[in-house]
Amino acid sequence: MFNTIAGTIRGLAADMVEKAKSGHPGMPIGTAELAAVIYSETLKHDPAAPDWPDRDRFVLSAGHGSALLYALLHLTGYDMPMDELKRFRQFGAKTAGHPEYGAAPGIETTTGPLGQGLANAVGMALAERMLAARFNRPGHEIVDHYTYVLAGDGCLMEGVTAEASSLAGHLGLGKLIVFYDDNQISIEGSTNLAFTENVAERYAGYGWHIQRIDGHNPNQVLQAVNKAKTLTTKPSLIIAKTVIAKGTPLAGSHKTHGAPLGKENIAAMKEKLGLPADEFHVPEEVSQHFAGKQLEWTKQRALWEEKFRAWAEEYPDLQQEWERVTKNELPADLETALPDFENSPAATRNSGGEILNALATRLPELVGGSADLAPSTKTYLNEAGDVEAGDFSGRNLHFGVREHAMGAVLNGISLHGGFRAYGSTFLVFSDYMRPPIRLAALMNRPVIFVFTHDSFYVGEDGPTHQPVEHVEALRVIPGLHTMRPADTRETAGAWMAALKRTDGPTALVLTRQKLPLLPDSSVEKVTRGGYILREAEGENPDVIIFSSGSEVSLAMAAADLLAGSGKKTRVVSVPCRELLLNQEPDYVRSILGENTPRVAIEAGVGNGWYRLVGAGGLVISVEKFGESGPAEELAAHFGFTPEAVAEKIKKHCQWNT
Ligand SMILES: Cc1ncc(C[n+]2csc(CCOP(=O)(O)OP(=O)(O)O)c2C)c(N)n1
Ligand SMILES: [Mg+2]
């Protein structure tokens, strides 16, 4: 039967790519037996209930092989009609060029950027263990599933999988099972061109269990999975030797990686495999096979539902908590957990840490960590324990110095469900994790990225550690909310907004240096993205200053100086420019004024601020790399003193006072 299913997959994948006139047929055709075994025998899933929380997760890390996943979803009865296979890669289809989370049930994560999927899967497998530690009780294993990955040479070449796999080995994620499609081909040709390391030894070094199989032999695939499942403390790498596009006249050629095979080659393949020449053919016996499987899957899930009911009956409080966290709901009175705001200067990284800790006492689902910088980013959850191999009950994750994997693992935890996840590092290193930030936004996952040490005010560590372009670079990611709060109250507002958000990620940008508590700052108004912090007398300003984070207090001080010259200033705090620009036009207009000169101040590149101040506005920014030296000296050097700012404004407005 496996060979018939594999043949069907081959036919469907070849036809999909041929009809679309684009796509990647080689990998789906070369992994058809692997896929047939996984989706028919191995996976615990129920296509009729794709959100079943205890389903096994399957991640196609080699996302270019999307035709494989779509064929599998169709054959096994997910909501993936044949018409969608025929619309492969067309606008609006469920069958996008690369698998997109949310486009169809059964797609567990968006893949295509190589390596991300495997790293997401590490997060999913970790989430499974953490959820089990919280909700399972003796005799009630309601969380007990595996995470499977199909990864290719490209995934294993990417650094993110090295980081994530090292972490998975360290944590002993025994229920993570990765198939490596070892076809020794990537786009440019043989992997001998650039990838000749011993992957098995490398992964053994990470603490993984290694098996080698013939990927075209279904029995070997089955046996390897069964063996992998017996290993409870080691992730499994099953190295499956395969031939790309096996069964076609082009088998083994890199030309099959990313281009249609051509009608003749497809016809030859079908003839060789004993398939009818018809396009998009699914043999009756394959349909019947999966209809029979559906009966088994339904039974399997019913057993779980029974188990769940018994557990819920015995532990009603736990069940209530389960319902809340799996739906991503916050406790109604969360705000009341916020600490009192002391009227003394504080770095927003420090207030952020206190706020996080206070909120965390009410949010057991909030878990997170840092890429080895928690003492600096202040994101450690006190007395919440560490997540470690063999004990997943803690809430603090130690990602090690692995920013890229941290981002991808956070996405995986979020995708798995049951948790709110955050991760922290220095803002300047956000570049090391930009791909998963982008994917969190693309997938609408409410992951929270905490970035501290947010400008040249970092001081002595110098230009390598001083972000210049980073805040703006985050703001341009569609769907990401980049929040740069100006004081403790706004930091609380930013954390609350990030937690209340369920449809996308947030970056919290915090300072290393102390900032004063601003008299009229607000927790609630942060959600508007920007608000008038200090209004000019008579609401009739001579100038309006927009700024964010540490520059808001600078704007206030400059406004005081301007007042000394008889000029009235409106100061607008803009903790989240994207949110402000999305408010109703009346609100935005009420802040922008009509013909009043506008100024923006931010200790970073200034391009984006012209959206608020207009082409004729003044932007006081930093357009070059930082310098090594004490922060106050650097502030003077970059013109970030109240005097320098006031002077620039006067000059800009041509006030000869
Ligand atoms: C991060 C990233 N870099 C580059 C690409 C472009 N790309 C897509 S597939 C591929 C080669 C992948 O080789 P392999 O995983 O062995 O796939 P196979 O050719 O065996 O199907 C490349 C370079 C990508 N999708 N993601
Ligand atoms: Mg390959």
Question: Which helix (DSSP H) or strand (DSSP E) does residue 189 occupy?
Answer: strand 189-190
152 CB within 6 A, ligand 1: yes
pLDDT of residue 657: 65
Closest ligand 1 atom to Cα of 181: 20
d(CA 157, CA 523): 45
pLDDT of residue 371: 98
Q: What is the mean pLDDT of residues 487-512?
A: 98
Q: How far is the CA of 186 from the centre of ligand 1 (A)?
A: 6
88-to-22, 39, 78 alpha-carbon distances in Å: 9, 21, 16
Q: Can you read off the two tokens belonging to residue 534?
A: 């200090």
Q: What is the mean pLDDT of residues 371-393?
A: 97
pLDDT in tens, 511-568: 999 999 999 999 999 999 999 999 998 889 999 999 999 999 999 999 999 999 999 9
- The alpha carbons of the chain give a radius of gyration, in whole angstroms, of 28
Q: Which ligand is nearest to the CA of 436?
A: 1
589: pLDDT strictly greater than 80: yes
Closest ligand 1 atom to Cα of 113: 26
Question: HSE (CB half, 13 Å, CA atoms) of 633?
Answer: 8
pLDDT of residue 358: 97
Protein residue with least CA distance to atom 8, ligand 1:
64
For residues 392 and 386, the answer to whether their CB atoms sit within 8 Å is: no
Question: Which helix (DSSP H) or strand (DSSP E) does residue 426 occupy?
Answer: strand 420-426
Q: How confident is the model at residue 299 (pLDDT cuts 50, 70, 90)?
A: very high
Q: How far is the CA of 282 from the centre of ligand 2 (A)?
A: 27
pLDDT of residue 421: 98
3-state helix vs strand vs coil in the chain, percent to 5: 45, 15, 40
For residues 414 and 421, the answer to whether their CB atoms sit within 8 Å is: yes
64 CB within 6 A, ligand 1: yes
Q: How confident is the model at residue 150 (pLDDT cuts 50, 70, 90)?
A: very high
Residues with CB under 5 A from ligand 2 (ion): 152-153, 183, 185-186
593: pLDDT strictly greater than 90: no
Closest ligand 1 atom to Cα of 151: 15
pLDDT in tens, 154-202: 999 999 999 999 999 999 999 999 999 999 999 999 999 999 999 999 9
Q: How far is the CA of 436 from the centre of ligand 2 (A)?
A: 23
The best mutation among 186, 196, 261 to test binding of ligand 1, ranked by most ligand atoms within 8 Å of the C-beta, falls on 186
CA-nearest of 144, 146, 136, 145 to 312 is 136
Per the listing, tokens 């532990």 go with: 315
501: pLDDT strictly greater than 70: yes
pLDDT in tens, 94-113: 999 999 999 999 999 999 99
240: pLDDT strictly greater than 70: yes
- Let me know if 50 is exposed, middle or buried by CB neighbors in 10 A (0-12, 13-18, 19+): middle
Is 403 assigned a catalytic role?
Answer: yes
pLDDT in tens, 122-141: 999 999 999 999 999 999 99
pLDDT in tens, 394-431: 999 999 999 999 999 999 999 999 999 999 999 999 99
pLDDT of residue 490: 98
d(CA 119, CA 106): 18
Q: Which ligand is nearest to the CA of 13?
A: 1
DSSP 486: S
Neighbours of 583 (CB within 10 A): 17
Mean pLDDT of the chain: 97
525 CB within 6 A, ligand 1: no
Q: Which residues of 337-369 are buried (b: 16+ CB within 10 A; e: fewer)?
A: bbeebeeeebbbbbbbbbbbbbbbeebebbbbb
For residues 148 and 94, the answer to whether their CB atoms sit within 8 Å is: no
**Largest separation between any pair of C-alpha atoms in the chain:** 90
37: pLDDT strictly greater than 90: yes
Q: Can you read off the two tokens belonging to residue 449?
A: 């990225």
Protein residue with least CA distance to atom 21, ligand 1:
27
pLDDT of residue 434: 98
For residues 5 and 40, the answer to whether their CB atoms sit within 8 Å is: yes
Q: How confident is the model at residue 341 (pLDDT cuts 50, 70, 90)?
A: confident
Per the listing, tokens 């395969």 go with: 242
pLDDT of residue 308: 98
404 CB within 6 A, ligand 1: no
Closest ligand 1 atom to Cα of 116: 1
d(CA 285, CA 281): 12
pLDDT in tens, 429-483: 999 999 999 999 999 999 999 999 999 999 999 999 999 999 999 999 999 999 9
d(CA 390, CA 401): 21
d(CA 122, CA 297): 25
- Let me know if 30 is exposed, middle or buried by CB neighbors in 10 A (0-12, 13-18, 19+): buried
488: pLDDT strictly greater than 70: yes
Which of 18, 354, 403, 490 is catalytic? The answer is 403
